[in-house]
Structure 1
Amino acid sequence: MDSYSDPTAVYAALAGFYLTFFIFLIAVYVVGSIFMMKIFDKAGVQGRWRAWVPIYNQMVFLKLGDLSPWLILITIVASVIPILNFFTGIASAVLLCIAAWRIGLKLQKGAGWVVLYFFLSIVWLGINAFDKSRWNPNIAPASWAGNGFFGDRTVWQGVPVQPSAAPAGGYGAPQGYQPPAAQGYAAPAAPQQPTYPQPPQGFQPPAAPQAPQQGFQPPAAPQAPPVTPPAAAPAAPVTPPAPPVTPPAPPAPPAPPAAAPDAPANGEQPSE
């Protein structure tokens, strides 16, 4: 009996094929979720579980790409209608490519990287997940930021609002915007105030001095001792004037010689 004509063998081969394909899809989904989880970490998304929930992870992906997250949900719901399956599939692919382009800009990637995402999205996710790029939220808002249908207007706890989610006619971020932390693009933190040691428990600070009562006169300040003028220096001794010099008396005139007595005549002796 030919084995190709045995239905059991055909069913077994089909079952093996579908099982292998299912395992392959599960592996691709797990790897893709790990890559998306790393990208969410760079974007500052809180809660890694968001990358593992089907459909919801694509909604967060669109939100990070400056698109309304409800667009992907609309396309999935519209795909239930058989005639719209083809168009909703194209719309979903276009939305994801636009979100990947905006996310790539925030991860320092050019617009050409969208081609890689379109053909090999798993490779695009892996490169952006593990390279050294950092999330930069300070890029120019998207051109559709003011559109009420395509622009992101949702605020989810744990998912940072992107700067392109701006009101119509302006580029300001909506109230409650918080840039992702620890990405290297946040403004520098204000310097912390120095901390001082706290007093021990039960410590009572000393009471402030009370104001003097009425009528209280504070003691007078001690008077400075009188300043005694310095004693005058003793006067220098006065040198007495020199006595006047008396001119010497003129010499007395010589006395006239006494007259000699007359000699006695004839040899007589003078009588006594």
Structure 2
Amino acid sequence: MIKGNNFKEKIFPPFALFCTFLGVILLLIFLVNILIDGLSRIDADFITSLPSRKAEKAGILTAWTGSLWIMIMTALISIPIGVCAGIYMEEYSKKSKLNTLIEINIANLAGVPSIIYGLLGLEVFGRLLGLGNTILAGSFTLSLLILPIIIVATRESIKAVPKSIKDASYALGATKWETITNHVLPYSVGGILTGVILSISRAIGETAPLIAIGALAYVPFIAQSPFDEFTVLPIQIFNWTTRPQHAFLVNAAAAIIVLLLITFILNGIAVYLRNKWKMNLRY
């Protein structure tokens, strides 16, 4: 039995290293192919041009502005609700069967396929509330998608705050609200921001929920308000990849580069905030 365990311990590290290198190599192959195909297509005209039936004249202006609208509106809707819900569940809610059931369901909702949220958004926001296929309907739908992630991230960040910090605050006569706002949140804000940014970056790359609520593949105008119809970069990429002309595939590769760049920037900001938060912690 001991020999078997020793063999497993010896074989596991090289196997894990092989799996890591395999994933990295496949990712590099994908990135290199995308860069070769699409990098030469990215220029000012591509960024500032409207969609067109002619590949050489087509751009991503409506797509990236639509993604920007969706990102901002989703953040405005989901961040206050998610952070407040996480604070309430961690600091105020009492242990009960109902609260335990809610906590389990919130954790499980993070793993629900995104198309389910799209169908829910179509019925509730698109039809019952009459929002149709507008930016607001898409933002509400994506907010439902990322709310469980923000709530879980908020709770885990608050749990990481040492109990001694809270006890010292209470010992000095602070109320629960003063303890949360002056001590708990400042110490946990880095982890909360990291979870928020990563959830927003996930929302930017979603396609299925927005297609389900009726987001358009071809929008020849820039959205001016949350009640306008819209498209986003993932849908524009999907639309171009279905075209038979090779020039549209080049456009799709260029749009993928732009979308990856946005995602990498958001993830980089999340890493920076987390590291800065850890460096500034003084218990």
Calculate the TM-score normalised by the size of structure 1. 0.24
Whichever structure has more helix as a proportion of its residues is: 2
Q: Which has the larger radius of gyration?
A: 1
Bigger relative contact order, structure 1 or 2, given CA contacts below 8 A and separation 6+? 2
Calculate the TM-score normalised by the size of structure 2. 0.24
